[in-house]
Amino acid sequence: MQKNRDSSSYRDPSGYIFYENGKIYRAINHSYQKNYELFHESGLYDKLVEKKMIISYKEVNKIPEVYKVIQPDLIEFISYPYEWSFNQLKDVALRLLEIQKIALDFDMTLKDATPYNFQFVSNNPVLIDTLSFESYIEGQIWTPYKQFCEMLLSPLLLAKNIDSRLLRITSVFKDGTPLEITSKLLPIKTKLTPSIALNIHAHAKSQKKYEGKKIESGKKLPRNSFLGIITSLESLIKNLTIENKKTEWSDYYEETNYSDSSFNQKQIIVKKFLDVIKPKIVLDLGSNTGVFSKIAYEFTNNVIACDTDHESINRFFTTCKKENNSILPLILDITNPSSSIGWMNKERNSFFDRIKPDTVLALALIHHLAIANNIPLDMISKFFSDITDNLIIEFIPKSDSQIQRMLSSREDIFNDYDMKNFEETMSQYFDKISMSELENSDRILYYFRKKP
């Protein structure tokens, strides 16, 4: 078996991820043998699979230098914490704590608490790292407590108390937001909340006090106290909520200039285009409240809905959970998408390196790229040709009220922005298969197919 090792899998000495013939495998080193055996023999693995809290896998033929090789169920698209909304990150934090409580019943504990160990399967957070467990030793502390506070609790508190856009801080501090920074940024009033005062403010002060010093403690932490820490964190996070503020885009379809008939017509046309394409993976860019992501979901289970507006994505995620569908809502700024970060810029891949959609929806989007962000039409068409074979896109002319509003406070320097130039630039890379004008509107829907 030839090993194509995953570039992000290098930190854990217990094993690593590799690929072979389009399939994913995890090699388990001999150093993890006892913990792996306990994980299975204790019944913890079966319990977590039963509760749909961990990715299932099967053992396969091993390679000589390792203890075992397992083949996990394949997750089509890997998302990262800095692409999740508040409720998504909150669900991951609560799932991690729930898994820890269950593990303790089987005399095991988590050895790390990174959200990167989780992925969403039908909007259910699932642990994907089999090697996260180790034997619980009576009297031990919860090893990943600091990591949990930095990687999960900190961004949630910053989003809750300051601004939801601070969830993106996880892309800057990839190993967790330093507690000292979180403590400084949080409002003074949070020091009056005992759980925040203890887990953030006092924790940060303690870290600073003992920084660089060797700490020797003979104190033991009873199991009840160990469990009490987990339960306390669970209670704190459960009570964290974020206000669904009305933003420029969260009520877009309620306030747009579409008439009911034209909006219904738009849905019918998009559905007709998708029926011709028969897509496998759909990427909805500028998904807003997810109306058209749901239409795409009628044709494929693989739909990723992206928008730069946190409130829209947070709200849509809640809807997807209630409806138990597998649409994955993510926060993404198309003009500044998630880039490759980490060691050698290969530890976390860029967004467009992780997804290869055969179909892209770009509805009510192009004017934000061309007018709001000054991106030339030829660069926009090249961008779409780089990421997909099938493009359903809506052209919005300058006569549209949305663009008129954009231009009301700035000079109109966009002399090339018209339907003729739009079609010409798209024709460099795509064939125009179909176009439909929306009634009671100047907007036009196109279906373009990439040139052979």
DSSP string, 183-197: HHHS-GGGGGSHHHI
Q: Is the pLDDT assigned to residue 327 strictly greater than 70?
A: yes
Q: Which residue in the block uniquely carries the two structure tokens 């009576």?
A: 138
Residue 326 to residues 129, 277, 294, 431: CA-CA distances in angstroms?
21, 20, 10, 31
**pLDDT tens per residue across span 1-46:** 446 888 888 889 999 999 998 899 999 999 999 999 999 999 999 9
Q: Which residue in the block uniquely carries the two structure tokens 């303790």?
A: 104
Q: Is the pLDDT assigned to residue 250 strictly greater than 70?
A: no
> Rounded CA gap, 132 and 14, in Å?
9
> Rounded CA gap, 255 and 92, in Å?
33
Q: Is the pLDDT assigned to residue 248 strictly greater than 80?
A: no
Q: Is the pLDDT assigned to residue 174 strictly greater than 60?
A: yes
Q: Is the pLDDT assigned to residue 143 strictly greater than 70?
A: yes
> Rounded CA gap, 4 and 336, in Å?
29
Q: Which of 432, 423, 433, 416 is nearest to 395 (CA)?
A: 423
Q: Span 45-69, mean pLDDT?
A: 95
Chain-centroid distance, C-alpha 176: 16
> Rounded CA gap, 162 and 168, in Å?
13
Q: Which of 348, 308, 318, 323 is nearest to 91 (CA)?
A: 318
Contact 191, 201 (CB under 8 A): yes
Q: Is the pLDDT assigned to residue 295 strictly greater than 70?
A: yes
pLDDT value of position 73: 95
Among residues of the chain, what percentage have pLDDT more than 70? 95
pLDDT-derived band at 229 (thresholds 50, 70, 90) equals very high
**pLDDT tens per residue across span 307-320:** 999 999 999 999 99
Q: Is the pLDDT assigned to residue 139 strictly greater than 60?
A: yes
Q: Is residue 4 helix, strand or coil?
A: strand
Q: Which two tokens stand for residue 391?
A: 């493009």
Question: pTM of this prediction?
Answer: 0.94
pLDDT value of position 22: 85
pLDDT value of position 251: 54
Q: Which residue in the block uniquely carries the two structure tokens 């019918």?
A: 268
pLDDT value of position 260: 85
pLDDT-derived band at 212 (thresholds 50, 70, 90) equals low
Q: If residue 319 lies in a helix (H) or strand (E), which one and from where to where?
A: helix 310-323
pLDDT value of position 306: 98
**pLDDT tens per residue across span 341-363:** 999 998 999 999 999 999 999 99
pLDDT-derived band at 409 (thresholds 50, 70, 90) equals confident
Q: Is the pLDDT assigned to residue 245 strictly greater than 70?
A: no
Count Cβ atoms within 10 A of the Cβ of residue 358 and give its class: 0-12 exposed, 13-18 middle, 19 or more buried.
Answer: middle
Residue at 279: amino acid letter: P
pLDDT-derived band at 207 (thresholds 50, 70, 90) equals confident
Label the pairing between strands 281-285 and 4-5.
unpaired
pLDDT value of position 216: 58
Phi-psi map region of 208: left, alpha, beta (phi>0 left; psi -120 to 50 alpha): alpha
Q: Span 236-246, mean pLDDT?
A: 87
Contact 19, 7 (CB under 8 A): no
Q: Span 103-112, mean pLDDT?
A: 98
What are the chain's domains? 81-210+217-238 (1.10.510), 252-450 (3.40.50.150)
**For the range 396-401, what are the long-range contacts, defined as Cβ-Cβ under 8 Å and sequence gap of 24 or more?**
396/364, 396/366, 396/367, 396/442, 396/443, 397/442, 397/443, 399/442, 400/257, 400/367, 400/441, 400/442, 400/443, 401/257
HSE-CB at 194 with a 13 A cutoff on CA atoms is 2
Chain-centroid distance, C-alpha 242: 18
pLDDT value of position 1: 47
Q: Which carries the bigger pLDDT value, residue 208 or residue 293? A: 293
DSSP state of 372: I
Chain-centroid distance, C-alpha 333: 13
Among residues of the chain, what percentage have pLDDT more than 90? 83
